[in-house]
Amino acid sequence: MHLYHFSEDPAIEVFRPHCPLGREDEPPHVWAIDELKAPLYWFPRDCPRVTFWPADDPAHHRRVHAIEWAWLDRMRSTFLHAYRLDGSSFVPAPGGGGWISGETLRPLGVEPVGDLLDRHAAARIELRLMTNLWPLHRWVVESGLEFSMVRMRNAQPDTESSSS
């Protein structure tokens, strides 16, 4: 099984286990994603996004990704690279969605992802542009849909929640 790590850095020679920001109390890991969920990472690293798909669509053929307008220029200009990793040392990450390994790993290969907007279009993923992601975030959480939400700390402020 091959897994992937996406980065804007085109020259990573070794992946060393580390603790993600805000999770310093957890053991260090190398993080990766499988091919099915790889499109969840076709974004600039710090780009906040809400992604969702019907639970009865395990292949994610009816996937929707949403970002804020403020990130569109970065989506257009980011050069992302897909690192292929040997999946033999990985186990499912707690909470699902990704894979973790406690080993230091060398990539098996690296390829440019290409234009991120074109990549979404070629995969037939609906890409929505929004002024603010928080209303969609609330709707998706309550919808019963499968979802992933990444880097929401970088989203525009949630003005609806703070005013109530």
CA atoms within 13 A of residue 31's CA, in its CB half-sphere: 17
**Structure token pair of residue 162:** 């703070």
pTM of the model: 0.90
Span 50-77, pLDDT tens digits? 999 998 887 778 999 999 999 999 999 9
Span 79-88, pLDDT tens digits? 999 999 999 9
Q: Is 96 exposed, middle or buried (0-12, 13-18, 19+ CB in 10 A)?
A: exposed
Give me the chain's average pLDDT, please.
93
| Domain ranges across the chain | 2-162
* Band (139; pLDDT cuts 50, 70, 90): very high
Instruction: Report which residue type is found at 14.
Output: V
Q: Is the dihedral of CA 32, 92, 28, 65 positive or negative?
A: positive
Q: Give all strands (DSSP E) within the chain, no chain letters.
A: 2-7, 30-32, 49-53, 64-68, 81-86, 91-92, 99-101, 109-112, 126-130, 146-150
